[in-house]
Structure 1
């Protein structure tokens, strides 16, 4: 072995753990970090000049390889989704049948709400649809909080029976 190879071997032994931790921090994967560090030292061995790199040079080389790996991984992620894979991805939009069913249920609910007695309907709409508290509904309607609670509970029970 040449002195250059021995120097690179010593540098590898001295810096390997620190470099692997550094790359793991960048890429987030221990196995990839190990591969990147080994690739950096393999690249150093392939260089033709006789100059042995210092620690700062190796850190920069490892950092560049790690960033290249991230860039390439993002590029592959953008490219690797085929049409067949896209067809297997579930569509989160409701089916037309579900939309019709929901609209039908909403229509039934609105008809049932419209059929409630006026005060009961008003208390229910203020509380359950507009989101007002019992106290706010009581203030708007000019009645007590307990009356509002009674109106809303009675309205919900009647809606439950109708629907």
Structure 2
């Protein structure tokens, strides 16, 4: 599902080839929707960073992820909800890498959890089938909290030609 609000798009000429223009938001959004793996960066209570890979679903203009309540990232989010999610091709000579900055919010609405559970299964297959619960998701391995990150700022690092695009989203 696509974003309903178009971001302000800027290119920073300091970090790209001469004449390289901004990449379109639709390209970054498609990458976020299709990414098989993303990395979430959170901040521990003592200020140290914590980074871990996870599966994400792009829906209604936001990235969604889930994690067990006892996992480090969930515990970090209890004291600091600011996150960075990254994904891309991880190559220096081709593709687009995307960095999403925003605030993680718990998803608790039953209808939204049902839709997200369906989106996870559609994207990742039946091994990622979740049952929506009062707290988030359940599966044979336990339960998980579900988070939504609406982008505040997104950076796109393109190669060939190299450029850095920044997309800024209006905040509600």
TM-score, length basis structure 2: 0.22
Larger Rg: 1
Q: Which one has a larger percent helix, Structure 1 or Structure 2?
A: 1
Higher relative contact order (CA 8 A, sep 6+): 2
Q: Which one has a larger percent strand, Structure 1 or Structure 2?
A: 2
TM-score, length basis structure 1: 0.23
